[in-house]
């Protein structure tokens, strides 16, 4: 069992990252599968929720501000092609902002399900002793009580009965309080050497990259496969032009199938139609047959037909229609 105590600083860094879902999703899945344990001191939960509104605003405002400045420059110096590019980027900005907010929301929910750790008399006494001896994180001239409590709660969890393969991980981006002074930040402060002396039982992970490295090392394919499954979320969203192009193709295909619905058994257009309608159908079919592979125009069964209509409904919803609007059945 991998038992993770992830500091607020790391959670906030994960939330801000574009590839945050590649870390959040595997942790969530493996946690609910019982493959890892999340140790959540109440201090971390409170700090995350306290910092969340400011961090969310900063993440979304940053995206909008970068776009605003770029838009301003392109309007001043760009040509017609630049204006089209501006419109395309404007389509993608809401997707990017929403993705950042999703990270914060999912982390908050994950923390609420973790194993809560509350400091007691034992932990508070240990913090006082650490402060009197000027041991990290009290080696600096600042209030480090909250950070010291995190380490004492980690030590309490470490002292609990554990299996031979259990490993406790302390992950933080707070190098000033926890990492070696003026050295490699990936190494803990010497005052914590006794805590992390046995790499089979404990790991010190610096920052998001350090945490990812530990997850990959300890969980192997279980973690890497889950991360790879959501890697597509890091790709930029489809452009508006691509969406409209696919919508046009689906419209053509669905119209073509419908136009064949009342054909005669030998494949001729219904003779009951007037000449104008018959000519219009013939022209429409000819255009579509010349554009797409003829063998792919007719569905092989109900599943393929339903899937085609489902894709059309999803695209129309993306373009502003309502999924419960029966009008999309007009195709």
Q: What is the pLDDT of residues 149-190, one digit of tens each?
A: 999 999 999 999 878 889 999 999 999 999 999 999 999 999
Q: Determine what percent of the chain is predicted with pLDDT higher than 70.
A: 82
**Minimum mean pLDDT range among 88-97, 235-244, 245-254, 295-304:** 88-97
Residue 72 or residue 94, greater confidence: 72
pLDDT in the model for residue 85: 54
For 255-311, write each residue's pLDDT tens digit.
Answer: 888 888 888 887 788 888 888 888 898 898 889 988 888 778 888 788 888 888 888
- The residue written with tokens 């999803």 in the block is 314
1 token code pair: 């069992």
Query: How many residues make up the chain in this entry?
Result: 331
> What is the tens place of the pLDDT at every residue in 121-130?
999 999 999 9
The residue to which tokens 């309007």 are assigned: 75
Which pTM was predicted? 0.69
Give residue 232's pLDDT. 63
Q: Average pLDDT over the chain, rounded to whole?
A: 84
Confidence of residue 91 (pLDDT cuts 50, 70, 90): low
The answer to whether 254 touches 247, Cβ cutoff 8 Å, is no
CB 226 within 8 A of CB 301: no
Neighbour tally for 265: CB within 10 Å: 5
Mean pLDDT calculated for residue range 126-150: 92
Q: Is 217 exposed, middle or buried (0-12, 13-18, 19+ CB in 10 A)?
A: exposed
Q: Number of helices and strands (H, E) in the chain?
A: 12, 5
């Amino acid at each position: 069992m991998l038992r993770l105590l992830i500091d607020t600083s790391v959670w906030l860094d994960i939330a801000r990252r574009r590839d945050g879902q590649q870390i959040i999703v595997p942790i969530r899945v493996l946690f609910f599968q019982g493959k890892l344990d999340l140790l959540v001191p109440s201090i971390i939960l409170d700090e995350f929720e306290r910092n969340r509104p400011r961090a969310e605003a900063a993440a979304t405002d940053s995206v909008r501000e970068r776009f605003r400045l770029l838009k301003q420059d392109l309007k001043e110096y760009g040509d017609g092609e630049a204006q089209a590019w501006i419109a395309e980027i404007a389509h993608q900005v809401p997707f990017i902002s929403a993705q950042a907010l999703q990270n914060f929301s999912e982390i908050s929910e994950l923390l609420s399900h973790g194993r809560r750790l509350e400091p007691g008399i034992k932990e508070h006494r240990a913090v006082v002793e650490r402060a009197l001896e000027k041991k990290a994180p009290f080696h600096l001239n600042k209030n480090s009580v909250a950070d010291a409590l995190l380490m004492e709660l980690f030590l309490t969890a470490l002292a609990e009965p554990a299996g031979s393969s259990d490993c406790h991980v302390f992950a933080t981006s707070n190098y000033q309080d926890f990492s070696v002074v003026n050295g490699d930040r990936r190494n803990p402060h010497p005052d914590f050497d006794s805590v992390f002396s046995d790499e089979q039982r404990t790991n010190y992970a610096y920052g998001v990259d350090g945490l990812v490295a530990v997850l990959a090392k300890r969980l192997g394919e279980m973690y890497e496969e889950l991360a790879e499954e959501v890697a597509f979320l890091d790709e930029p969203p489809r452009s508006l032009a691509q969406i409209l192009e696919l919508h046009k193709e689906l419209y053509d295909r669905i119209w073509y199938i419908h136009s064949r619905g009342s054909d005669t058994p030998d494949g001729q257009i219904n003779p009951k139609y007037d000449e104008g309608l018959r000519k219009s159908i013939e022209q429409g079919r000819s255009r579509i047959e010349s554009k797409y592979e003829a063998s792919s125009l007719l569905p092989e069964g109900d599943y393929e037909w339903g899937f085609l209509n489902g894709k059309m409904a999803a695209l129309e919803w993306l373009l502003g229609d309502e999924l419960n609007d029966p009008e999309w059945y007009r195709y």
